[in-house]
Structure 1
Amino acid sequence: MAEKNNNTPEKKNKFAETRENFVNAVIESLEKGKIPWQKTWDADCGNNLLYNPVTGTKYKGVNNIMLIYSSYAKGYEDNRWVTFNQAKENGWSVRKGEKGTPIEIFKFYDKSTKKDLDMTMYNSLSPAEKVEYFTKNVYIVAKNYTVFNAQQVEGIPPVEKKEVKNIDYNKIDKIMENCGVPITHKGSSAFYSPSTDQIFLPEREAFHSENDYYATALHEIAHSTGHPSRLNRDLSGKFGSKSYATEELKAEFASVFIGQEKGLNYNFENNIAYIQSWAEVIKNNHEVLFSAIKEASKITEMVLGYEKGKVLSKELTKGKDKGNEVEI
């Protein structure tokens, strides 16, 4: 029997390798002082959300950031993304030599049925039954799919230009009114105080525009969701600490997501110390990037819910994020 060659390199997990490449690219950008998730596409399409024009899927969470980064790195200004087959099926074609952008899909398989998890059945279970069933019978398979920006696709119709509407600041006012946190206008700094559960903002006149004022307010409201009565995050870190940098990263991503939903631009020049601290914490633990994006999705859901007077407790948000949508 032939001797086993112990020098044969192990086959890399493609999903893990793709994530590692993405994190390294983000770190490299941050170390150069560049924030790679700032908006680059044309908002005249009607909103800031990245989406698939074939399925109507709006990309969220990690996929949202991956595609924003790709837009930033490659200069894409179109916010539409499709797969190779979707382009082909619609009579379009991906230009020869174009490289796509990987996104993540999580599928849930049922060990007992050997099929996809029956969500109708699963949702009919009690909370306790769901935990038991998921633990015993369900396993998650993570996969990568490749999508192409509309600028890489020949034959795709030009993006439909919609009438650009002014941002409805009344809706953001509702969020500020219903967030449950007193907002005081004074001083020259914007911050959230965890000890008193208060937000402090400079007077409106101190901001360059309404966009800047509301974007800043929403950023501080994002921080306030970390209060023990809400999502209960660690807000004890001081400037320069790992926990402080991690919380700022969560609020940063939440600000991007909320800005997309509300049509706000969130392209402020961040202090270089913040950017370097993000690079440092991510470099020390790559998973920090993904956990921050995941938490930012929960923050976004809570903050947007304030508009309709909806308040989610930390109990209601536990376990809600089971991965990205299967539809791409």
Structure 2
Amino acid sequence: MTKEKFNIYELVTNKIIEKLEQGVVPWKKPWNSSNGPAVNWKTQTPYRGINVMLLEPGEYLTFKQAQEAGGKVKKGAQSEIVVFWKWIEKENEETGETEKIPFLKYYRVFNINQCEGIVSKRNEKIETYEHDPIEEVENIINGYINKPSLSWERTGAWYKPSIDLVNVPPLSDFPKAEEYAQTMFHELIHSSGHVSRLNRDEITGTHKFGSMDYSREELVAEIGGSMLAAVTGIDNVTFDNSASYIQNWLNVLKNDKKMIVKAGAQAQKAVDYILGVSYKESNK
């Protein structure tokens, strides 16, 4: 990994750490708001993965895009970063074997509120939700192709890759239906890593409790579960944002500056798989 790319990981992680230190859990913020999701102003494409956690709701564009559109960025405006991350294959010059290496770059963008001469392209009213959260959970489960077996025993919430089984306590055991939904989403994200699906090493490999790989998989499930909740419009007020929860993730992220970027990408891939959608990545 080059020094430049390492610095991007560090830059992104430090921004997430800053939010956590302020008491904000960035992967559990309300992504549907009166301002709409964070989107690329030019294409109106929603940002994905780690970028959802880095940006507040709104429309964003680069300095160059603002100029090309006949506008300009206001003097003293503060830019934000968006990250483009993917795996690329490269031949090892010494062994001749093909290796997968992470490709990472970032762009600086500005909210259109920090620009002059740039008009919002949003014409539609921001969607609001009035529906049964449990019905939405069922829709997700029913649409999950090649899904794991499900059970509702009162033995806790877990996913066992060895038997490809997700278990959550029955709905009646939860004080709020939203808590049941969030628990189910968390475990479904874990199941997406099974060898017959995305074959995620954090699920298919052997990793000790408390290890960095174990923590990364938990972060993938945290982020992915939150994304599914956002997709279905389920209220996130029941999410844990306690001091101990936040401190745990602060400790983990400070010890691995690459974890949040990779976990965000894996979580988005897991959500796409469960929802049965494909998406062509844009680098801006």
TMscore range, shorter length: 0.7 to 0.9
Aligned partner (choices 28, 41, 44) of residue 53 of structure 1: 41
Identify the residue that residue 33 of structure 2 maps to in structure 1.
43
Give CA deviations for 1:114-159 in whole Å, capped at 9, x if unaligned.
xxxxxxxxxxxxxxxxxxxxx7xxx998543221124434563495
In structure 2, do the counterparts of structure 1 residues 211 and 93 end up closer, same or farther at CA, with 3 Å as the change threshold? Answer: farther
Q: Is the 8 A contact 2:82 2:108 kept in 1?
A: yes
Out of 69, 82, 97, the residue aligned to residue 76 of structure 2 is: 97
Aligned to 2:183: 216
**Contact in 2 for aligned 1:255/1:266 (Cα 8 Å):** no
Distance 1:54 1:257 in 2: 24
Distance 1:35 1:166 in 2: 25
Rate the CA distance shift 1:15–1:40 in 2: closer, same or farther, 3 A: farther
Cα distance, 1:206–1:173 mapped onto 2, change above 3 Å: same
Query: Does the Cα contact within 8 Å between 1:182 and 1:199 map onto a contact in 2?
Result: yes
* Structure-1 residue corresponding to 2:130: 166
How many Å apart are 1:23 and its aligned residue? 1.4
What is the CA–CA distance in structure 2 between the aligned matches of 1:285 and 1:252, rounded to whole Å? 17
Aligned to 1:65: 53
- Partner of 1:257, secondary structure, is helix
User: 1:126 matched to which residue of 2?
Assistant: none
1:44 Cα offset (Å): 3.9
Query: Shift of the alpha carbon at 1:101?
Result: 0.7
Aligned match of 2:107 in 145, 152, 155? Answer: 145
Q: Deviations over 1:49-74 (max 9, x none)?
A: 4212321222122333332xxx3xxx
CA contact (8 A) 1:81 1:150 kept: yes
> Over residues 272-306 of structure 1, what are the superposed CA-to-partner deviations in whole Å (9 max), with x where a residue is unaligned?
5554443333322312222222222221121112x
* Distance in 2 of aligned mates of 1:241 and 1:33: 25
Q: What is the identity, as a one-letter code, of the residue corresponding to 1:229?
A: S
Q: Is the 8 A contact 1:42 1:79 kept in 2?
A: no
Q: How does 1:292-303 map to 2 (within 5 A)?
A: 292-303=263-274
Which residue is equivalent to 1:234? Answer: 202
Equivalent residues, number: 265
Q: Give the 3 Å change call, closer, same or farther, for CA 53–168 of structure 1 in structure 2.
A: farther
Partner of 1:156: 119
From 187, 201, 219, the equivalent of 2:154 is 187
Q: Which of the residues 81, 95, 112 maps onto 2:60?
A: 81
* Alignment-derived partner of residue 16 in structure 2: 26
SS in 2 for 1:183: strand
TM-score by length of 1: 0.64
2:150, 2:167 within 8 Å by CA — same for their partners in 1?
yes
CA distance in 2, matches of 1:257, 1:277: 21
Q: Which is greater in Rg?
A: 1
- Please state how far the C-alpha of 1:99 moved relative to its aligned partner: 0.9
Q: 1:207 to 1:44 in 2, by over 3 A?
A: farther
**Counterpart among 287, 295, 298 of residue 258 in structure 2:** 287
The amino acid of 2:221's aligned partner reads A
Over aligned residue pairs, what C-alpha RMSD do you find?
Answer: 4.0
From the superposition, tell whether residues 303 and 144 of structure 1 become closer, same or farther in structure 2 (CA, over 3 Å).
Answer: same
Instruction: Tell me, in whole angstroms, the C-alpha distance in 2 between the residues paired with 1:36 and 1:82.
Output: 21
Q: TM-score, normalised by structure 2?
A: 0.72
What is the deviation of 1:93? 4.5
Q: Which of 188, 191, 213 matches 1:243?
A: 213
> CA 1:95/1:237 → structure 2, altered by over 3 Å: closer, same or farther?
same
Looking at secondary structure, tell me which structure has more strand per residue: 2
Deviation (angstroms), 1:223:
0.9
Q: Deviations over 1:162-221 (max 9, x none)?
A: 452435754541332445323323427432233443222233244354433322211110
**Paired residue secondary structure (1:58):** coil
Distance of 2:103 and 2:160 partners within structure 1: 41
Aligned match of 1:110: none
